[in-house]
Amino acid sequence: MQVFGVRYRNTQGTLMRILNAVSRRGIDLPYVQATPAEHSHTVTLLLEVSPKQIGQLRRDWLAIVDVAEVHAGGRLSMIAKPKPNWIAPAYPAVSSGVAVDGGARTATA
């Protein structure tokens, strides 16, 4: 497993282009986290890749218009541990205020 960090300007689609460089190669993506970092954003990815793919990914990412920096070989400790009791935010109410499917949505609204 290899940890990558990509710093990018958070413009439309840039994060998706970064992820697409992974998915188009059929590489599993067990962990990804994007966070703001000063004036830009950083996405951290954990990937199972071959040495050749490391170079390819790095160059593909750098070719994306709003990618500024790519790091490979970060520490696994950079990966945040999943919270055991992660709670999803409440499902938003439909804007009209009319419950679509009865109780559940009305209850969380």
Q: Closest Cα partner for 1 from 35, 48, 40?
A: 48
Residues whose CB falls within 8 Å of the CB of residue 1, separated by 6 or more in sequence, listed in order: 30, 46, 47, 48, 76
Region 39-98 residues binding another protein, contact defined as CB under 8 A? 55-56, 59-60, 62-63, 65, 67-69
Q: Is 1 in the site for another protein (CB under 8 A)?
A: no
**Choice from 1, 13, 37, 76 touching another protein (CB under 8 A):** 13
1 versus 16: smaller Cβ distance to another protein:
16
Q: Are 5 and 44 in contact (CB under 8 A)?
A: yes
CB-CB contact of 21 with 72 (8 Å): no
Residue closer to another protein by CB (options 10, 79) is 10
The residues that touch another protein, with contacts defined as CB under 8 A, are: 9, 12-13, 16-17, 20, 24, 55-56, 59-60, 62-63, 65, 67-69
